[in-house]
Copies of this chain bind each other. A is one copy, B any other.
């Protein structure tokens, strides 16, 4: 199944959201990551102009959203659901970081619809709602400041879904220039540069071949690490050759 089709099978369920603006932010976060299927369990107010405003270009997600009276209705045809909850619930699934359970979510999505389930902004999910899910996850926040808003939480989870659906290699927007990629310098070209450098350094007295020390090995290490390009070797050798010629400046002061 194509990654885009797997993502289309993941529904985001919001249980009793209080603020229409948050519903809009969730729609936008979903669509940026290729998710489209939004379910709302007992929203306090929906539809609402504030939701449309915050959704910006994702109003289509809001228009297709389904409103249902309870979580069981939202999950009826799913085979796997992750409850977002920081608190471990009595007899609920063990709470882990999202990445592992999202890998499982994507695997299950190949066979049936699956869900990410978020609770109310202040109250979260009820114990009964968490028990309706096969897994539980919480975004690992700073223990001293865990105040993630609903839109941000959905953003992070949908991002993880997209990364997982594309096996961590999602296509990137390919705008602008092609990355500059010149052919790498060959071993012989780099040897030539090192010999040229040795010559100039010896001529100028910067380097004493009688007491070589570690100067040349250090330069060799630098060029190896930089993965020099053929063009760059030419620039550097041109620069070295220029220092070997008497210059106008040199003649004046000499």
Q: Name, among A86, A143, A174, A179, the residue most crowded by chain B CB atoms within 10 Å (CB to CB).
A: A179
> C-beta contact mask, A171-212 vs B, less than 8 Å → 1, else 0?
111111111100000000000000000000000000000000
Decide: A171 and B32 in contact? CB cutoff 8 A.
no
Q: How far apart sit A138 and B66, CA to CA, in the bound complex (Å)?
A: 32
Which residue on chain B has the smallest CB distance to residue A96? B172
Which residue on chain B has the smallest CB distance to residue A61? B145
Chain-B contact segment, one of A42-50, A67-75, A146-154: A146-154
Decide: A95 and B172 in contact? CB cutoff 8 A.
yes
Decide: A174 and B88 in contact? CB cutoff 8 A.
yes
Q: Check A99/B31 contact, CB under 8 A, given A90-B180, A175-B87.
A: no
Chain-B contact segment, one of A12-20, A105-113, A160-168: A160-168
Q: How far apart sit A32 and B29, CA to CA, in the bound complex (Å)?
A: 18
Residues of B within 8 A of A176 (CB): 86-90
Decide: B88 and A177 in contact? CB cutoff 8 A.
yes
Residues of B within 8 A of A143 (CB): 171, 173
Residues of B within 8 A of A34 (CB): 142
Decide: B173 and A32 in contact? CB cutoff 8 A.
no
Residues of B within 8 A of A179 (CB): 88, 92-95
Q: Check A173/B57 contact, CB under 8 A, given A32-B146, A147-B32, A179-B94.
A: no
Say how far A101's CB is from chain B's closest CB, in angstroms. 12
Task: Tell me, yes or no, whether A169 is within 8 Å of chain B by CB.
Answer: yes
Q: How far apart sit A20 and B142, CA to CA, in the bound complex (Å)?
A: 24
